[in-house]
A = this chain, B = another copy of it.
Amino acid sequence: MRRLTLALDAMGGDFGPAVTVPAALQALVSYPQLELLLVGNPAAIHSLLVKTDSVLLERLTVIPAESVITSDAKPSQAIRASRGTSMRVALELIRDGRAQACVSAGNTGALMGLAKLVLKPLDGIERPALMVVLPHKKQGKTVVLDLGANVACDGAMLAQFAVMGSVMAEHIVGVTNPRVALLNIGEEETKGLDPIQHAAVLLRDVQSINYIGYLEANELLTGKTDVLVCDGFVGNVTLKTMEGVIRVFLSLLKSSGESGRQGWLMQWVKRWMKRRLMRQFGQLNPDQYNGACLIGLRGTVIKSHGAANQRAFTAAIEQAMQAVERQIPERIAARLDAVLPKSD
């Protein structure tokens, strides 16, 4: 069995070690090939390990880090003062070859900036992209990127995202010859911004990418594509719009002090509806889905939701394992090398 070592930013997220340490232990129990480096305040981490089986502890190492980047810190300032923080040390463990991937629930902007700084982009990639896998109503999944790593993108960058997304859809979602679309405000060729039109021209020439054209944002959940590519500004707005609408819908399903016979029925109806929604679209609920993947770097970085609970943080660890096992960075590098001219 091949060993697999991940670095965890134990201090990141709203709950820090209280969530990350139990999640780490849960993952160690489930996956005997897993080895974890917990980066953070040793006292805080050790206090949560007192009752842990010593056999499990053999696969767990605490790496001391003096400080933490808070979730409300300004990314640029946080990055300048990042030396010795749990997030940065965790990323440096990948750079130094001690870990194969890293998981953090910390400050998103700082994580993206630091990851770019500490781990270098793959050859052929100008900038890494943040990616999520969304469920769609045909029971499949759609890879969506970029979600905010790059506010402005040129056509070459969008084409690189398309290649990376295609590799992810093939090796993470398991789709053969995945369809790739560019997010635009209409389906005609002349629609939208210049970078999108330029990316379309580039992608039409790439034989190994199943480019299907433009899709509009109302097709996000309809399963018309396996990969949807956009710049980070638009991706962020799209995902947050979706989150906002879903939160409003779920808030309608909260019980609101109904009483008596009819009240009981109302509560039952709301619970039923909520279960139904959760079953099909639970992963769209920002409290439930977890693990955006920063791809395009020499090493895998998983961004867990800051509010992740133990189960959700374990899911992010599993996502990191999957990315390592399926050799995502290597496959992206190989595909890029084969298909895309370097952008100028």
Contacts and interface: CB of A to CB of B under 8 A. Distances in A.
A247 interface: yes
A238 B218 CA distance: 9
A152 B217 contact: no
B251 A277 contact: no
A305 to B, nearest CB: 13
A237 B185 contact: yes
B218 A247 contact: yes
Contact of A216 (B152, B220, B240): B240
Contact of A218 (B148, B241, B277): B241
A172 to B, nearest CB: 23
Most buried by B among A185, A232, A247: A185
Given A218-B247, A248-B137, A238 B236 contact: no
Contact of A241 (B188, B220, B248): B220
A233 B185 contact: yes
A272 interface: yes
A219 B233 CA distance: 16
A147 to B, nearest CB: 10
Contacts of A248: 137, 221-222, 281
A221 B245 contact: yes
Given A185-B236, A217-B240, 20 more contacts: A76-B190, A151-B192, A185-B237, A192-B233, A216-B237, A220-B241, A220-B244, A221-B244, A221-B245, A230-B237, A233-B234, A237-B237, A238-B238, A242-B245, A245-B245, A245-B246, A248-B281, A249-B277, A252-B276, A252-B277
Interface of A: 74, 76, 109, 137, 148, 151-152, 183, 185-186, 188, 190, 192-193, 216-222, 230, 232-234, 236-249, 251-252, 269, 272-273, 276-277, 280-281, 284
A244 B224 CA distance: 12
A240 B269 contact: no
A233 B185 CA distance: 7
Give the number of times this chain occurs in the complex, counting copies. 2
Contacts of A281: 248
13 contacts: A76-B190, A148-B185, A185-B237, A192-B233, A217-B237, A217-B244, A218-B240, A218-B241, A220-B244, A222-B244, A249-B249, A252-B277, A273-B273
A61 to B, nearest CB: 35
Nearest to A284: B245
* 10 closest residue pairs by CB, A with B: A218-B244, A217-B240, A218-B240, A217-B241, A185-B236, A241-B241, A217-B237, A245-B245, A218-B243, A221-B248
Nearest to A247: B218
A217 B247 CA distance: 12
Contacts of A188: 74
A76 B188 CA distance: 11
Nearest to A232: B185
A243 B245 CA distance: 10
A220 B243 CA distance: 10
A253 to B, nearest CB: 8
A241 B238 contact: yes
